Homo-oligomer: A and B are copies of this chain.
Amino acid sequence: MNSLKKMILEHGEVKEGNILKVDSFLNHQLNPEFLYRIGEEFYRLFRNEKITKILTIEVSGIALALTTGLFFKVPVVFAKKTVSLNLDKDVYTSKVFSYTKNQVYNIMISKKYLDKDDKVLIIDDFLAEGNAIRGLIDIAQKSGAEIRGIGIAIEKGFQQGGRILRSEGYNLKSLVIVDELKPGSIMFRS
């Protein structure tokens, strides 16, 4: 998606530890019209998958999942992060390891909002090692729902999450893949 590459080149900041900050349009300040275009692009990529529900994870996946939901006209469910493991029988839970924070957190989705008849599109802003996506896949599988697609805005191609998910057969599509991050230089896969 060329407009996303352009936004990243113009507004992205490369930080130590292979961090790409896109706070000016995606992770702190949101550019509503641009995020609407991203939702439209995810719709174009997955429109034939008979999606009934969009899954994401708080906080930064919510905006993209919502604009995508405006095109699919289906509900969006965001997994909530919890410090303690919720033992409520009415929720699906999974554990996610965060590299950036170096800690494990729990995520949960109420059983009311996901079940075996759902055909799910998972949406998130970033894919690196794939831990958050693994948590969402785990929850979708526990519910019996079918995972029809995974849509990522920015994939870090130099980390292994995307490669492994594709090798397992997941229908993963990233709007841009970043192959190298250096201060002043961001290389995209063509």
Contacts and interface: CB of A to CB of B under 8 A. Distances in A.
Interface string A111-140: 011000000000000000000000000000
Given A24-B112, A59-B59, A30 B67 contact: no
Given A35-B66, A59-B59, A62-B59, A75 B30 contact: yes
Interface stretch (A76-84, A92-100, A156-164, A168-176): A76-84
Contacts of A59: 58-59, 62, 78
Interface in A12-46: 23-24, 28-33, 35-36
Interface residues of A, number: 30
Nearest to A28: B110
A67 B59 CA distance: 16
16 contacts: A23-B112, A24-B112, A24-B113, A28-B78, A28-B80, A28-B109, A29-B75, A29-B113, A30-B76, A30-B77, A32-B67, A32-B70, A33-B70, A59-B78, A62-B62, A63-B63
